[in-house]
Structure 1
């Protein structure tokens, strides 16, 4: 068994979101996977069990628990696989459902991976849950952008989507780790997707991740896919559309996620990015 380490959504090892990758996890049980993820220490590690024909069973573990789906570890695993076996289509059978992935390579040899999420969903965020979330974040209602209303969004896992009224508010991240972690565990939220809209096609994001034992994720593919579904369902983009999500700059690991939003409401959201070995 080989444990690989890749940064997703960057071509610079100093950027992106690090993930562990095991390309052949056949025979590993849950306890072993969790132990490996804890030893690796990244926000997630992806474990692939080949089924043949480019199809894999995939499980994702944070240092503390298994999660149904992880976008950045999917990108990292796809890039790692393509660098060893060539580019092309892959199918990841995850606990959240089937995720199609394709990889390609440019003239300079850089591999890009694109995942297509399960069908996204958006749900209301109850007033009392929003109040508890803002309290844990140490935000107020005045910090919110009224044009991007709070919701809970899903594209494999659930994320509250909270839009900041200013880039400065987004940059000043100082939350109550224990209080937010307890609230998120109670509702089954994976990360909180904090966003700021720079323009119609450019967004900035930060993703607190206390359920995984991580203060902040530098690039969150699952949240980007959920956010794409949120924008489509609320009519905040005119699909088909492509948006850029910049994440990680405030923590010194700049990342770029490219989100493709198809017009049909029952289709998944695509998230594309590069990856680099660490």
Structure 2
């Protein structure tokens, strides 16, 4: 059993129900829409990260959001190199835990980057099972991801989606069964329940079902809400059984996912989250 599995993922955060803020990177070199300036990418990531921290966020997730159309499972080395450089910049700029997500589903790259910059956790979109996506059919590689984590980054937590957004699960497994298998058989340290797409509200019934299933099997893996989290909805997410939340769109200027982070918007969502999680660890 790894260190990440021995301790709860929640132990990495200062608050009882942590709020993770997204740094959505613009297009990286090699992707359509890249602006031609690596320094600008660095500066944008640093600025967004420091604004998130200034607004009181508990952790940061770095993601190559602007790289559409995404490589399905394995990104090329230049993407790993650029994300590692940017992640290093972010890690040096903030003191809150850092997570890495490499779209669409490259957990090996995410773990490699996390190991290089001493990040705290990764996100993997399809950890177990199979999903039909706009990148084609993606299959979970928990057997590879967990073993690689053991070899190169045993302290890095694995936060895995169940019935991930922008995808349709293949097969008839319910969301609670998918969550159970993600934790029990896939050895994920926490799960994410989301809506249908970026910024889409997450069905509270799904959160309730997943939280109840994991609790019924005495599993300590936390449940995070992964989309549609705002100052108005974060309380309902907690009431439905969420242990934490990931916020992105609601923290941006004018509520646009691709815009820079707004400190005022971060403070509003953080304040709402704190009302439902008042205690420090």
TM-score, length-scaled by structure 1: 0.31
Which protein has the bigger helix share? Answer: 2
